[in-house]
Every structure is written in structure tokens, then in C-alpha cells.
Structure 1
Amino acid sequence: MKRLLMALSAVVQVVAPAAQAGSVNTLSPAAQDLVGGEAMVVDIREPSEWRDTGVLPNAVLLPYRDADSFLAAIGPQLKPGQPIALICRSGRRSAAAAAAIAARTDHPVVDVAGGMGRLMREGYRPSPCPSC
């Protein structure tokens, strides 16, 4: 677990300075790079997907509908300048959501390329959904 936290810290430190308002970084991290650290990891899949395949242990579970309601929901939890890392099943929804969110916030936005599907193909086994 300590190795996982250190890996995410390194990824966030590399990603965050390059991200600017209105821009999206695409990242293909290993699963351990998404657990812990500075970024708020948000799983934007639907509850049935969380239940069927599991979740990253520290992810905020929030289905994506539109950028404004998304930012209203997570905004109070965000620290100033905290990166937002979005993950979905395959990377398509998170890419579209990241572009819309980046246009409306000054937080760095990271699209996790390949989504949970890629992480699982690489051998990661998600945790059961605690709220499903």
C-alpha cells in the first residue's frame, strides 16, 4: 500500500504542474498510481458498473451527467489547485467529461486513458463497491 501511495504522489506531481485551466492531461497510469495521493479520483461510471466490476478504493463515486452538476457536487470537497482524475469503463466518457469540466474549472483535470477496463486487463482487481 505504501508503494501505491508513493506512485500516485509521483504521478500527481508530474501531471499537476503541466495542467492549466481549460486543458486536459491524458494519463495511462497503473492502478497503483490512482490510489491515495493528492488527486481526487472520481469514478464517473453508473452504479451498476461499480457493482459489476468494483471500484478503486479511494475513488469518489459520482455518475457523470453534466459538468455544472458534477462540479457543484465535488466542488466543496476539492482543495485549492487539487487535481481531478476521471475514470470510467473504457475512457470514452472520462475523455468527454474531462474536456467539459476543464473548460469550467481552474483545477487540473486528468483523463485516465483506457479506464477501468485497461486497469483490469493489466491485472488490477478492484475492490467491491462499498455503497452498492
Structure 2
Amino acid sequence: MPGWIQILGAVAVIGAILVGFSQVSGRAQAQNVALESPSGAVLVADASMLLVDIRTAQEWQQTGVVEGALLVTYTTPEAFLQAIAPHLKPGQRLGLICRSGNRTSRAARQLAPIVTAQVIDIAGGMNRVLGQGYQPVAPTKAMGCGVC
């Protein structure tokens, strides 16, 4: 019996260390952030979500974009929120897409504490959406591309 108690104690200590490390390293998931993998067709049709492509204009031009996406290059949380505020309706979710999902993961963690909207990190980014066969559209000035 004493052997099991030592094992359980060691497991509890390791678990506490891992939880503490995840919180210190900033990897704790905010309550209003979700990682989702919708198809391109779902992204186009989902009126409950404002989809924002946070890549650069050069990237938008290289691969195309999801139809209906708002194009805003992410630089800082404050500048980003100022740019999207006129487009985000009350109760609407905020979807973020980039090339592979790395930038949206970082942006979602930065935005979560300062927005009330549910922040949706689109898993795999445009690489995944295009890989599933979605046919993108060309970026336009009306979508937010200042040089397109």
C-alpha cells in the first residue's frame, strides 16, 4: 500500500508542475477561444461568424482568400480591434484565419482577454482549407486589401 501512495503522490506533483508550467508559459486556453476546422464552404456560409484573414496582402494575392472574409493584417491587438470593430456585430463570433494556424493561435490568445466575442482559431489555416479543395476568390479593396 505505501508504494501506491508514493506513486499517487508523484503523479499529483508532476500534474501540478505541468499545470503551473502551462499557465506560466501562456499556453492556458482562454474560455472564449476555440480551435475549429470548418471547411471553406462552411466558412463562406456561416453568418454567425465574422471571418478575418490576418495574413499580408502579398499572401492574399498569392493564394486567394475565403469569399466574404474581411482582410486585416494582424499587427497588434489594439490596431486589429480598431479595424474590425465596424464589422463585428453584437453576438457574432470572431473567426481568425492565416496561412497555417500559427499566427491565428497567437492572435487568438492576445485578443481573448480583451474581447467579449467568442474567438475562433481556424485550425490549419488556408493551407488546410485549400488542401480540402476550396476554390478561393481574389482579394479586393472592398474586402480590405489596400493594394489589390
* TM-score normalised by the chain length of structure 1: 0.80
Question: Which residue in the other structure is 2:40 paired with?
Answer: 31
Amino acid at match of 1:30: S
State the alpha-carbon separation in 2 of the partners of residues 22 and 71 from structure 1: 19
Deviation at 1:25, TM superposition (A): 0.3
Contact map agreement 2:52 2:96 (CA 8 A) in 1? yes
1:65 to 75, 86, 90: 75
Alignment match, 1:108: 118
Contact 2:54 2:73 in 1 (8 A): yes
**Aligned residue pairs, count:** 112
Alpha-carbon distance in structure 1 between the residues aligned to 2:109 and 2:126: 19
The answer to whether structure 1 residue 121 and structure 2 residue 142 are counterparts is no
Structure 1 stretches of at least 4 aligned residues deviating more than 6 Å after TM superposition: none
Choose which of 24, 41, 61 in structure 2 pairs with 1:51: 61
Task: Report the RMSD for the aligned CA atoms in angstroms.
Answer: 1.3
SS of the aligned residue for 1:95 comes to helix
Write the distance in 1 (CA, Å) between the matches of 2:90 and 2:55: 25
% identity of equivalent residues:
44
Amino acid across the alignment from 1:31: G
8 Å CA contact 2:92–2:117 kept in 1: the answer is: yes
Q: Secondary structure at the match of 1:81?
A: coil
The residue type equivalent to 1:56 in the other structure is V
Residue matched to 2:93: 83
Work out whether residues 22 and 106 of structure 1, in 8 Å CA contact, stay in contact via their aligned partners in 2: no
Query: Are 2:32 and 2:117, in contact at CA under 8 Å, matched by a contact in 1?
Result: no
Structure 2: give runs of 5+ residues left out of the alignment. Answer: 1-29, 142-147
- Asked which structure has the greater CA Rg, the reply is 2
